Amino acid sequence: MAEVKLEGVSHRYQGARVHTLENLDLSVASGGCHALLGSSGAGKTTLLNLLSGLELPSSGRILFDGEDVSNLDAGRRNVAQVFQFPVLYESLDVARNLEFPLKTRGMPRRDRQARAVEVAGRLGIEGLLGRRARELSLFEKQLVAIGRALVRPDVALVLLDEPLTAVEPARKWQLRRVLKQAQQELGATMIYVTHDQTEALTFAEQISVLHQGEVVQTGSPTDLFERPASEFVAEFVGSPGMNLVPGEVRDGSLLVHGHSLGIRVAEAPGACTVGFRPEWARAISAGSDGPGVPAQVTDTRTQGVRQRRPVGVVRAKLGEREVSLRQALDVTTGDAVILQLDQLVAFRGGAYLQGWSRVEDGTYARA
């Protein structure tokens, strides 16, 4: 499995006025699992095509284990790909579908049969080896398609193009778990392309967020969730995304809507943006002790029960902004409340500035 690097890669389609990808850098460790996360039009498909060799970059370099493959076509890159909809030979049984990539490379029959059985075992589909592809469910077909991608022991890179899109929701978690386990056991270098942040955050070790043809942040799921590089990433990652409200640094203190949060900062005075996840804040009764920001509850929505208490989403008006909180529903629409923040971040000029979290004595420490 290859270490994959992109260095200053740009791509512009013939006749287009602007680049689809612009000066993109990316690094994926050998045996690593990396996700490319972005909305429609972010450049995910173009990047996938550049990695597979279906498109060649306009500039920059693509390296597999240090070898420049930028000008090699798809047939010479030794890349396997899994698509949204499984691509199989419907008239062949599962065993022969798995063996086919090995047969075309001249692997002896006994060896390819053993490899097919091994990979089938990793994916939990050894019981399907004798069944024809046309007899399988969509879920089973996608498992076989993944097996075809993993069966070549010398494959440099496995590309996964939204592989869970067509799978019924109840089976997505199962397929993701099986795929992740097989990836770890076989040591495959995988790049997983998706618009679904749940898939990216629960599958990959490292995630690159694509926006308008650029990688705007690469990091672990924790990095993206707790230390977003920009206001865009803060709002894009999370469901719902991070609450962003106007803030201010004044006399060494961080304020929101004119109210001190009890945080001392060394940053220069001036406007900033304060962000907090719905899980990081609580709406409590007005008049409660401790620093916070006055707000008014505009809506509540029950999503379940925890310890015999209803829990869900609270919407509250903070100045001119509405924010979302996830908490016990012990407030009601119209209540005057205080928003207390257990964790928050600040942005200036759209970029991450600093983060803080509340410690046991009620004060804040830099996160």
Give the model's confidence band at 67: pLDDT under 50 very low, under 70 low, under 90 confident, else very high. very high
Q: Is the pLDDT of residue 157 over 70?
A: yes
Burial class (CB in 10 A: 0-12, 13-18, 19+), 127: exposed
Per-residue pLDDT, 168 = 86
Of residues 319 and 108, more confidence is placed in 108
Average pLDDT, integer, range 207-222: 96
What pLDDT shows up at residue 282? Answer: 92
Q: Are strands 157-161 and 79-82 parallel, antiparallel or unpaired?
A: parallel
Q: Is the pLDDT of residue 290 over 70?
A: no
| Coil vs helix vs strand at 9 | strand
Q: Percent of the chain at pLDDT above 70?
A: 99
Give the model's pLDDT for residue 337: 93
Phi-psi group of 62: left, alpha or beta (phi > 0 → left; psi -120 to 50 → alpha; rest → beta):
beta
Does residue 122 carry a pLDDT above 70? yes
Return all residues near 132 (Cβ < 8 A) that are at least 6 apart.
Answer: 90, 91, 92, 93, 94
The band of 10, judged by pLDDT with boundaries at 50, 70 and 90, is: very high
Query: Binning pLDDT at 50, 70 and 90, where does residue 34 land?
Result: very high
Domain chopping of the chain, boundaries:
4-232, 241-366
Superfamily covering domain 4-232: P-loop containing nucleotide triphosphate hydrolases (3.40.50.300)
Mean pLDDT along residues 82-109: 95
Look over the chain and give the mean of its residue pLDDT values, rounded to a whole number: 93
């062949």: which residue's tokens? 92
- C-alpha to C-alpha distance for 157 and 323, rounded to whole angstroms: 42
pLDDT at 172 over 80: yes
Is residue 289 very low, low, confident or very high in pLDDT (cuts 50, 70, 90)?
Answer: low
Distance (Å, whole) CA 231 – CA 326: 20
Mean pLDDT over 330-344 rounds to 93
How large is the average pLDDT for residues 204-210?
Answer: 96
- The confidence score (pLDDT) of residue 361 equals 82
- Cα 264 to chain centroid distance, Å, stands at 33
Average pLDDT over residues 332-354: 95
Share of residues in the chain with pLDDT > 90 (%): 76
Contacts of 280 (CB under 8 A, 6+ apart): 341, 342, 343, 344
Q: What is the pLDDT of residue 169?
A: 85
Residue of 207, 226, 209, 216 lying closest to 32 (CA atoms): 207
DSSP 247-296: EEEETTEEEETTEEEEEE--SPSEEEEEEE-GGGEEEEETT-SSS-EEEE
What local confidence, expressed as pLDDT, does residue 279 receive? 95
Average pLDDT over residues 9-13: 95
Task: Please state the rounded mean pLDDT for residues 101-115.
Answer: 95
